[in-house]
Structure 1
Amino acid sequence: MEMFDLASVLGSHHVVLYFYPRDNTPGCTRQAIDFSDHDADFAKEKCIVIGISPDDCLTHADFRDEHGLSVELLADEEGEVCKLYGVWQSETRDGVMKRGVRRSTFIISSDGVLRHVLHDVTPRGHAAEVFQLVKQLNSRKLNGNRQKHGRHA
């Protein structure tokens, strides 16, 4: 129930922003639990994981408490952030216009660069896939530093 400023963590952490349709649906619950199960691994890689959906803060709190989630959950009730990231979608099903969130993940490196965009992800195993991409960010950074220092040695 507090505001979150992405800029406040960039510079020191990579950020995984994952957008999901709704709390307490089977796929969304699986995804949130998987990210929470890997929370310590992400922290070792200096990365924070943030889930965003149109649910309100109280719904997020119940969802977090019911499933023992450790990832940060942000409420985007008006869909403003979802629209900024292009994951708010409209579709017609059975003649009815429905709006919702396209399940997507964005990986932003600590230098503020968007490194990976994954759309229409499958919840099962997604956290492990994202973790490998974050690890690659850190290994590239280390290898880049080694090469940089190696040229001057």
Structure 2
Amino acid sequence: MDNLPVDIATAERIMLGPDETVVLASCADTNGDLFAVEVRMQPGGGPPVMHRHEPSEIYFVKEGVFTIYVGEGADVQRIQAGPGDVVPLRGGTPHTVRNESTELAVALVVHTPGQPMERFCRAVAAMTSDGPPDMQAVLEVASRSGIEMLGPIPAS
């Protein structure tokens, strides 16, 4: 790989709404095996709905606090993950990740295989370059990327 080491200061950035995804290893770099990013999630940021996808993912929290919802129906767990915490999510697991704090939250996130998640991130970022995207278009991209939207986070 000719592009090592990654300089995080000059790495590619993908904006998903107010949240920044810094590309550390793309599918092109890893033959599709993984998509590794640093997620910089603003307060109130993150996917607003529960979802599931086949790629597994792992979060290593670097700063701030992420709230990770995992499970279905009445069995949804609310996990608070802070600096140093590692949260692995097996593929097919219903979940969502939010920043419910008032501070920036930053995590290293790895998806494997990476192609579905990278395809989704790039397509949604392209849709949001001129403002909020059409939600129907986002749902179509999610479906094409193998991401199943499950609905709102259950009330606790």
Q: Give the alignment's TM-score, normalised by structure 2.
A: 0.25
| Greater strand share, structure number | 2
